[in-house]
Structure formats: C-alpha cells, structure tokens
Structure 1
Amino acid sequence: MARQRKTVITCAVTGAIHTPTMSDALPYSYDDIAQQAMDAAEAGAAILHLHARDNQTGAPSVRPHDFAPFLPRIKQATDAVVNISTGGSLTLSIQDRITPAKTFSPEMCSMNMGSMNFSFHPLANRYGDDDWKFDWEKDYVAGSDQNIFRNTFRDIKEAAETLAPHGIKFEHECYDVGHLYNLRFCMDIGLFKAPIFIQFIFGILGGIGPEVDNLIFMKRTADRLFGDDYRWSVLGAGGAQMPLAATASQMGGHVRVGLEDSLFISRGKLAESNAQQVTKIRRIVEDLGNEVATPDEAREILDLKGGDRVAF
C-alpha cells in the first residue's frame, strides 16, 4: 500500500448532527465557530470544513447571514482552505443547501454522492427530557429516524452545474460503495473533472460500517473506478475517528477529524476542542512517519483555485 509524503488534515468544526447538550465544547455561536476554526488551523488543519449554526440556539443553519460573521474572520486569521458544507440539512432542498457555497464561492465544498437513510436518533436515548439545553434539540435528534437524506442524480447535477462557474473543488462524500459508482457515472457525463477528492465516510447509521475491511474495499473499488484520477481521505464517525484516520494515513490517504464527526478525544472522554483532535491526529500521523501538509501544499495536492478567489 503506497504511502504519501504529505497528509492533509481536514477539521470539521461543528456539523449538523451534534447538539449543544451533547458537549459544552461544540461551537455554535459565531465567535466560537471562528475561534475553534482558527485554533484548529493553528494546530495543523489545512482544511476547515464549516457549517453554520443559529447564533442564539445552536440549531443548524444554511442561511448565508449565519456564515457571514465568521468566514471573513477565519480568512483574515489563517491561510487554511475553507470548505463549506452543501449537506447542512437533512430536510431542505438542494437549492437551499448550496446557497452558502453559491454566495461565498469557497475553494471547496462538500458534495454528497447519494440518497440514504441518515439517522442519529439513538443519541436521544442518552438524555432525559429535562437535560436538553434548547427546545429544538430533542425532536431534532429523536426524529432523525424518519429522514431520507436526499441527493438524487438531479440534485447532484443541479449542484454541480450551479457551482461550476465558481471553480469550487468538491469533497465527494461517499457513505457506501454505491456512491462511488454514482460518482463514476457523474464523471462520465461530464459533471466532475479529475483530479477528484473523495471522502470515504464510515460509521454513520444508514451508511457502511467502520471496519478496516470496509476501508480496504472502498479504496480498492475507487482504484478500479478512478485509477490515478483521485485523491482520498477518511472520516470515521464516533469512536472510529482516530483508528481509521491513522490507518488511512498509512495507506496513502488524507484524514478528517473534528467535533462534527466525534465529540470524543478518547474512549469515554469528551474532547475539549477541535484543536485537541487535530493535535492528536497530527501527532499520530507524524509519529508514523508522515508529514502534515500546509494549506498551500493541500491546494497543490487537490488542485484548488486559491484563497484569493473566494467571496468573503
């Protein structure tokens, strides 16, 4: 298994799954998102994957005015690549979900490569009725068992064509092997051009499980479908975060950590911040013999347009 010289660390700062009750470290105010993003970049994250939240309640948001207060601050304080989510809601249309990327024209944004059952409802069982900090949280978490995360071929086409003039590089999020075949089809009809960047995602309820065998299977499938035309990274949800990231780094892949994907720093111990997770995976990657990529090295590896061509 080929090893690479540089490993790109992505930090997913807040996401749209975890809620404020689940961890005091989860950032949701504009100030906290900005500060934790900046700290993660300082710790070694070359890419910052960003969602927005309502500044008062912490509810997930795709409204541009909830991105605007922190994006310029992050750009001014760091050289990190900004990656804006297009999957920030399990219930809104693709038009709503791509509005932040269309508004701010980041260097990267996520692109989910298939519809799926995407649920985190078992988390609701960990809390009593009186434990929730905000009224919206319980129903949001418990009700996720009825959601279909819609990403049809028409949705993918609309997002790709709408964002094409912006020169955005997509982080193609693949939650199961069928999503790789969806991506191959979309490349064949001209929606995406090489080199593509694939995020293998393991451990989400509704997607493929977080076993190393599945990582090897996904990687072999991608090799067959894309040859040398792709770069790849691994996202392990929950307790799979660090083990799968460490394994991926030794297989030639890049890594993603962050409080979007796991609230923990080790078994049973909540992380204090995103930067703490970045620091840990950086230490692991370097101890295993790899070098961590700078933001400019990540831009070169992923063929990005550059931070001077964003709209924030």
Structure 2
Amino acid sequence: MPTTSPDQILITVAPTGAETAKADCPQLPTTLEELVETACECEAAGAGMIHVHIRDADHRPTLDQTRLHDTVQALRESTDLVVQLSTGGSVHDPLDARLKVLDAQPDSCSLTMGTTNFGNDVFSNPWPFICELYQLSQERQVVPEFELFDLGHVHALDRLLNKFGLPYGGKVHCDFVMGVPGGMPGTAAALVAGVAMLPAETSSWSATGIGRSTLPVMLAALSMGGHLRVGMEDVLTLAKGVPVERNAQLVERAVSFAKLAGRAAGGPDLARELLQTSPPAHMGE
C-alpha cells in the first residue's frame, strides 16, 4: 500500500484543461498572463503543483513548443509551484506532438496509463506510446504523474513499473481521474477498489472528480488519506447554478475540507518531497 502524509495534503490545481471554450467560460485562464495570475493566487491559497494545458492566441488548445517553454519559464519565475505539463493535450493531438511536450523541461508531466472513451471522443494512449513516453521521462529527468481513468489503467501501471523500473526521483505518484464519461465512476466504491489495486511501489496518490463527482471524490480521498486535484479543468460550478469565478476558490474549498480532516496544505515543499522533482533553478542560486 502507498504511504501517505497523515498531517499534510498536496493540492494540485488544474486551471484550464482542453475541453472548455473561452467563449462559454470567459473566466477560464487561457492567456499566459491569466495563467500566471491564477497560479499565484492558487499558490497563496495552498496549492503545491499546477497541471497545465495551454491555449493559442484564439484560446484553442495547442502544444506549440514556444508557448510551452514560455509558460514553464513564466510559472517558475512567478511561483514556487511544481510545474506539471499535460502530455494529453486535447483528444485530437497526435502522439508525436505529445511526446515533444517534455522538450519544454517541466518538473513533472502527466502520463495516462491507457486509452479511454472520453464522452463522444477517444483519448488514445496505446501501450507503445506509454512505454516511449515513460522512458523519455526517465531520460529527461521529468517526474511523471500516472493518470488513472479506469481500473485497467492501475493494472497497466504495475506492468509498466515491472518492465522499466521506477520513475526519475524514485517515487510513484498517481492521480485517479474519476467521473469521465467512459471511465470509472466518481464514487467512493470505485476509489477504494482503485487504491487497493495500486502497485506496491506507489508512494502517494491523489484523486479528482469530474463535474458532479467533485465533492464525493474529494470526501472519499480525504477519508482514505489521499491527496487532491481541483480546478476548472474538472468542474465549473461551486454548487448548482453557482459558477466558479476563480480557480483559487476551488483550492480554498479543498483546503477547508482538508482542515476538517485534520490536514494542512503542504504547498510546493510537500509536492517536491512527494514527487522528488529536481529543485527549481532559483533554489541553487
């Protein structure tokens, strides 16, 4: 079973995602300036890591290399957050472009452990791609967060670790992404089953519930000693008919729920401890 921090919690913020259109949600942070401002607010609220999708000048999802590099640099200059780039991009991005995300030298990257139906689309993650991305993360010294959308993905993680060994840094951190139409449901029962299946090498895990499953998954994860991912990538309302205006609101809610469970937000220091990422450049200056 993975070890967990009984007194501290890692809160990851996923502020943008690739699915919501700016026109439908003007408060979604899609420009670099908006993203940096959001990151600063969320760090102040208690977040330790930021899971980043970027947009182009028309607010559409992109994996443009210049924008990726500029985003990583700006977030490092403005915050101490662990910067995690999504290698999923949007469901329409080609596999070769997704591999090149690591060229931007983030602290961490997402690594989804299998193909899943994603609403009316298919989020493609074939086994050869998973293996190539994992070995590339080891080579580039980027710590992966293993994204688990279904129980089969948990089994695939065990297979991957047996074949290629531990990630860079030696820690195995997973995130259960629950409630996606086509993936595992966002229920306590599903989370209990997933955690029970985690490989012995797992050192920490978090969970996020999509849409209406946000609060049930949050409460279940807290009751089991897990960590949390929150953000407008995953939910756009605080309650029925009450839109999220700032990602920091979701971080603040997670912090308040964690306090009820007797746990304090650990911030970037806890994120680096759990993932064993390389120290940011400014720490060595």
Give the TM-score taking structure 1 as reference length: 0.84
Whole-angstrom CA distance in 2 between matches of 1:92 and 1:70: 19
Q: String of CA shifts for 1:239-265, please: whole Å, max 9, x gaps.
A: 222331232122110000001111112
1:218 aligns with 2:194: yes
In the TM superposition, 1:131-142 aligns within 5 A as: none
3-state DSSP of counterpart to 1:171: strand
3-state DSSP of counterpart to 1:210: coil
Q: Percent identity?
A: 28
Cα offset for 1:33?
1.5
3-state DSSP of counterpart to 1:306: coil
1:202 aligns with 2:196: no
In the TM superposition, 1:278-289 aligns within 5 A as: 278-289=251-262
Return the letter of the residue paired with 1:4: P
1:163 aligns with 2:165: no
237, 250, 254: which one aligns with 2:210: 237
Which has the greater radius of gyration? 1
Tell me, which stretches of 5 or more residues in structure 2 are unaligned? none
Q: Which residue of 2 aligns with 1:34?
A: 36
Q: Does the CA contact (< 8 Å) of 2:84 and 2:107 recur in 1?
A: yes
Cα offset for 1:97?
1.0
Return the letter of the residue paired with 2:255: R
Q: How many residue pairs align between the two structures?
A: 279
Whole-angstrom CA distance in 1 between matches of 2:137 and 2:183: 26
Q: Which residue of 2 aligns with 1:82?
A: 83
Cα 1:191/1:151, change in 2 over 3 Å: farther
Q: String of CA shifts for 1:153-195, please: whole Å, max 9, x gaps.
A: 1001111122322211111001000001111111111154452
Which 10-residue stretch deviates more, 274-283 or 263-272? 263-272
Q: Which residue of 1 aligns with 2:114?
A: 114
Return the letter of the residue paired with 2:92: T
Cα 1:163/1:288, change in 2 over 3 Å: closer
Q: Which residue of 1 aligns with 2:240?
A: 267
CA RMSD of aligned residues (A): 1.9
Tell me, which stretches of 5 or more residues in structure 1 are unaligned? 120-144
Cα 1:69/1:167, change in 2 over 3 Å: closer
Whole-angstrom CA distance in 2 between matches of 1:304 and 1:285: 24
Whole-angstrom CA distance in 1 between matches of 2:160 and 2:49: 25
In the TM superposition, 1:36-185 aligns within 5 A as: 36-55=38-57, 57-101=58-102, 103-119=103-119, 145=120, 147-185=121-159
Q: Does the CA contact (< 8 Å) of 1:161 and 1:191 recur in 2?
A: no
Cα offset for 1:228?
5.3
3-state DSSP of counterpart to 1:20: coil
